[in-house]
Chains A and B, each alone.
Chain A
Amino acid sequence: MKAGSNLEKVINSGQFAVTGELGPPKSADISALREHGETMRNYVDAFNITDNQTAIVRTSSIGVAGALLQMGLEPVVQMTVRDRNRIALQGDLLGAVAMGVKNVLCLSGDHQMFGNEAAAKGVYDIDSMQLLKAFKDIRDEGKFIGGDDLEAPLSVYLGAVANPFADPFEYRVDRLEKKIAAGASFIQTQCIFDLDRFKRWMELVRERGLHKKVAILGGVTPIKSLGAARYMKNFVSGITIPDELIDRLKGAEKKKEEGLKIAIETIQQLKEIEGVAGVHVMAIAWEEVVPDIVERAGLYPRPKLS
C-alpha cells in the first residue's frame, strides 16, 4: 500500500475501479462543483480534479481538493507541468499531502495556446515523466529533485495518463512502460471511442505483462450531442472518434440516450478486456448522468473498504 487511499484499496482488492471527474469553475464559487460531487458520491471511488484544464484559468485543483476532503470525498489531484516549475510542483505536492490528499495524477497539460491566456509563458521546466519520477523519489527515497532530503517522509498514490490514440502508435506502449518505471501505480487513459485501437493497444500491453504492473483505467466520456462529438473529433487534441460512431449518433432519435448507451456499452466491453482494472468516467458538463451510467454498467454499488 502506497498511501491507503480508497482508490488504491479498491484497485488492490482486484475489484473494477470507477473514478469520476470534476472540472473546477472559472470563479471561486464552487457550489455547483460541490453539488456534482454529491450527485456522484457513492458512485465513484475517487474524483479527479482537473488542473486549469485546456489551459483555461480555473479554481486550482488543490484548492478544490481541499473542499472535497471537507465533504468526505476523495480527490485525485491532477498536476500538469505547464504552469509550475519544479520548485512550485514539489512544494504543491507537499501542500496537497499535508491537506490530506492521497492520490496525485501527473501529466503534461494542454499547450497554453489552447486556453484563455494564450499569451502566457509555458513553464515546462520538467516533463510529465520527470514529474512522476520526482514524486516517486520524494516518496520512496525522501529526496527532492535537487538532491536535498525531505524533513519527514510522505505517502502518496501516483498515477499518470496514457493516450493509446496518439502517435506513433507502437511508442504508446513503450511510453506506458516508461511511466510505470517512473512511478505510476495507476493509469487513466484518454477517452476511448475507438475500441478497436484500444484493444490493439491492450494486446501489446499484455504481451509485455504491463497490465500486471499498473492498474489501467479506461477513459469513458458520454457524448451529449452530435455537435459535441464533432467538436471533439475536430478540435480536441489527442481524441479520435470513428465515423461509425458519428453515424450512429446521427441516426439516433434520442441523441442523449444514445450517447449514454454508447458510454455504457464501452464500459461493458472494457470490463471484458483482460488487464483493464477500471474506468475513468469523464462527464464534464454532464455530471448528473454518472450515477445512471455506473448503475446501468453494473458497477453499483461501489465497494466499501476501510
Chain B
Amino acid sequence: MITAERKPLDEIFEMLKPYRRIAVLGCGTCVTVCMAGGQKEAEELAAAISIQRKKEKQEVSVEAFTIERQCEFEMIDQVAERLKGFDAVLSLACGVGVQTLVEHMPELIVLPGLNTKSMGYPLEQGVWVERCLGCGDCVLHLTQGICPITRCAKSLLNGPCGGSADGKCEIGKDVDCAWHLIHDRLEKLGRLKVMEEIQPPKDWSSSHHGGPRTIVREDVRLESGK
C-alpha cells in the first residue's frame, strides 16, 4: 500500500487561504488504511478548517466526502459534478490521487492535504514501514525477501557497511540494519554464498532515474497503437 501522513494544519490553512468553497476529498483505499485520508480524517479536517476560519472571522463553506479511489478516472466521475461546485479541492489521497484528479478534471484547483511517504505496510497499530522504492528491477530473490534498496540507508548491494552495529543501522538505533537482517536470513537458509559474490552496479535506468516510467501492455489495451 501507499503510506501517507497529513500535512501540518498551518500549512493546509495557508494553502487554502484564497478559497471560500472547499471540498475535502478523502480516498477510500491506502490512505484510509493508514488513517491519513479516509472519510473520518476528511471530516475531522473539514471541522478544523471551519473552526480556524471562524477564529479568523473568515467565511468558509467546507464539505467532506470520499470516493473509493482517487487514482481512477471512473471513480472520480462519480463525484465530478459535485466537485465543480468548489473553489478548491483539498485532496486527502496520495500524490497519485491528486494528480489523477488534475489530469481528469483540469478545471479544478486541487491541493495536497497529505505528504505521501512510501510503499509499505502496517507493522502494528499506528506504525507503517517502508518496503519498496519501485526500482523497476527487483532483487528480492538474491536477498531472500528483504529489500536492500529500500531498507539500507545507502542502498548498498554488497553487504553491510562499517556503520552496522548490534543489528542497527548507523543512522539510528531505532532502524534495523537491512544487511544484518539479510545476512542472518541467508545464513539460516544456508545461502550466505550469495553475499560472497560481488554484485555489479545496479542499472538505475529501470528506476525513476531513467525518467518517469510508463507501462504499456498492448495485449490488454482497448485501442492499441493509439
Interface readout for B142-167 with A: 1 if CB under 8 Å, 0 if not?
00000000000111111111111111
Q: Quick check: B170 and A127 within 8 Å, CB to CB?
A: no
Interface readout for A119-132 with B: 1 if CB under 8 Å, 0 if not?
00010111111100
Q: Quick check: A171 and B159 within 8 Å, CB to CB?
A: yes
Residue in A closest to B161 when the chains form the complex, CB atoms: A108
Count: A-B pairs, CB below 8 Å: 99
Q: Quick check: A167 and B165 within 8 Å, CB to CB?
A: yes
Report chain A residues within 8 Å CB of B153: 111, 122
Tell whether A134 is near chain B: CB-to-CB under 8 Å. Answer: yes
The interface of chain B, by Cβ under 8 A from chain A, is: 153-167, 170-171, 177, 180, 183-184, 192, 195-196, 198-202, 204
Q: Quick check: B163 and A111 within 8 Å, CB to CB?
A: yes
Report chain A residues within 8 Å CB of B166: 167
Report chain A residues within 8 Å CB of B201: 86, 125-126, 130, 134, 145
Q: Quick check: B162 and A171 within 8 Å, CB to CB?
A: no
Nearest 6 A/B pairs, CB to CB: A163-B162, A129-B158, A237-B170, A237-B163, A127-B156, A108-B161
Given contact pairs A168-B180, A171-B195, A182-B198, A108 touches B162 in the complex (Cβ within 8 A): yes
Q: Quick check: B171 and A127 within 8 Å, CB to CB?
A: no
Given contact pairs A130-B200, A167-B165, A124 touches B170 in the complex (Cβ within 8 A): no
Report chain B residues within 8 Å CB of A134: 201
How big is the A interface, by class?
35 or more
Q: Quick check: A110 and B204 within 8 Å, CB to CB?
A: no
Max count, chain B CB within 10 A of own CB: residue among A122, A127, A161, A238:
A127
- Choice from B154, B155, B196, B204 contacting A178 with Cβ under 8 Å: B196
A to B CB contacts below 8 Å, 23 in the list: A107-B162, A110-B170, A124-B154, A124-B155, A124-B156, A126-B201, A128-B158, A129-B157, A130-B157, A133-B198, A166-B160, A166-B161, A167-B160, A167-B164, A167-B165, A167-B166, A168-B160, A168-B180, A171-B159, A174-B159, A178-B198, A238-B162, A238-B163
